[in-house]
Amino acid sequence: MQQTPLLEVKNIACERGDHRLFSGLNFTLAPGELMQVQGANGSGKTTLLRTLCGFVQPVQGSVHWCGQDIGEWDDDFHAEMCYLGHLNAIKDELSALENLQMSAGLAGYTVSDQQAVAALRRMGLQRREHLPVRVLSQGQRRRVALARLLIGDAHLWILDEPLTALDVGAVGLMQELIGEHLSNGGMTIFTTHQPLQVSGVQTRQLMLS
């Protein structure tokens, strides 16, 4: 069954400084679809994802969500997406639990302690909930950041290198989470240098050169 695409990228071009990263890029993303952005270092993968978030204005072309330019979407578009960048957006001084509650708050949700603890446990952070993030390992910090995906009901996940610093178990967990998200009608666009396979879903490839 072919769904109508919600995210449409129309003929966009992006630059960094004087350097043209890519141009004439077109693609769409429909519910249940998974897309991997590929390309060498410096080919503009992160810039593309940041353009989809609206941080970067494309030099040409436009990005549409539900048929409307994301620039005109006001802040409602943000309620339907979840972005996870290179940076974890977590504070060393706060505990994992506090961090998750704060980032949920920024995304517009209030979560109870129980819900937050449940999300952190799902990410394999049992008995780490109240520790300051400072004492956690890189992989554990990434898990705290990823726990944000379990909170809220964003349709579109934009994940920039989500698997960085994760061990095999956590990679498997991520594949599981993305699989659930897609089967609930969500969509995911991501970059990675590691293999990421979601069972039962064909990963679409987008090559930047």
Partner 1 sequence: MNKLSLFGLLGLVIRRDLLLAMRRRADVLTTLIFFVMVVSLFPLGVGPEPEMLRKMASGVVWVAALLASMLSLPRMFSADHADGTLEQMMLAPQSLSVLVLGKILAHWTLSGLPLALIAPVLGLQFDMSVQALWILVLALLLGTPVLSMIGAVGAALTLGLRGGGVLVSLLVLPLCIPVLIFGAGAVEAVNGGMSAVSNLALLGAFTLFALVFTPFVAAQALRISME
Contact residues for partner 1, defined by CB under 8 A: 53, 55-57, 75-76, 78-79, 81, 83, 85-91, 93-94, 98, 102-111, 115, 151-153
Burial, 67: exposed, middle or buried (Cβ in 10 Å; 0-12, 13-18, 19+)? exposed
Structure tokens at 73: 């979407």
3-state secondary structure of 45: helix
Question: Cβ closer to partner 1: 45 or 198?
Answer: 45
Structure tokens at 68: 């409307």
Nearest distance from C-beta of residue 110 to partner 1, angstroms: 5
In Å, the largest CA–CA distance within the chain is 49
Count of all residues that appear for the chain in the document: 209
Nearest distance from C-beta of residue 115 to partner 1, angstroms: 7
Question: Cβ closer to partner 1: 56 or 196?
Answer: 56
Give the separation between CA 97 and CA 174, rounded to whole angstroms: 20
- How many C-beta atoms surround the C-beta of residue 53 within 10 A? 17
Nearest distance from C-beta of residue 197 to partner 1, angstroms: 27
Structure tokens at 190: 């991501």
Question: Cβ closer to partner 1: 74 or 205?
Answer: 74
Nearest distance from C-beta of residue 107 to partner 1, angstroms: 7
Nearest distance from C-beta of residue 80 to partner 1, angstroms: 9
> Please, which residues have CB within 8 angstroms of residue 62's CB and are 6 or more apart in sequence?
10, 11, 12, 69, 70, 71
Bridge pairing between strands 19-29 and 34-38: unpaired
Question: Cβ closer to partner 1: 88 or 198?
Answer: 88
Structure tokens at 51: 């353009």
Give the separation between CA 73 and CA 132, rounded to whole angstroms: 37
Question: Cβ closer to partner 1: 12 or 90?
Answer: 90
Nearest distance from C-beta of residue 15 to partner 1, angstroms: 11
Question: Cβ closer to partner 1: 107 or 171?
Answer: 107
